[in-house]
Structure 1
């Protein structure tokens, strides 16, 4: 997946260490991969509200004759 514009975030020391461990063990190649994996999980359990709205809108459109 191609990278997009960089985004700077502040992490607690614990989260930073968690990311470092994930990369060091080889599970992920980069810190960005760890963050993307975490965000994918988060969006799976708490999808963005705009997606819910879009899905509801598509349902209404599909029901029209």
Structure 2
């Protein structure tokens, strides 16, 4: 991922129209706590790199949203 995860996730949240992080987590089928670890600062002990399959889920959600117009 070329942009910072936190920035990517914020842009994804906005693009999908999610009002809360929990709503975005629900859309993606991921636990809210897992999504929180992906948004942590990279130097944080709680930071986790988002797995590629999770990135694919967000890419698919964004592609579906784009098709909807």
Does TM, normalized by the shorter one, top 0.5?
no
Please tell me whether Structure 1 or Structure 2 has the larger radius of gyration of its CA atoms. Answer: 1
Q: TM-score, normalised by structure 1?
A: 0.29
Q: Which has the higher contact order (CA 8 A, sep 6+)?
A: 2
Provide TM-score, normalisation by structure 2: 0.28
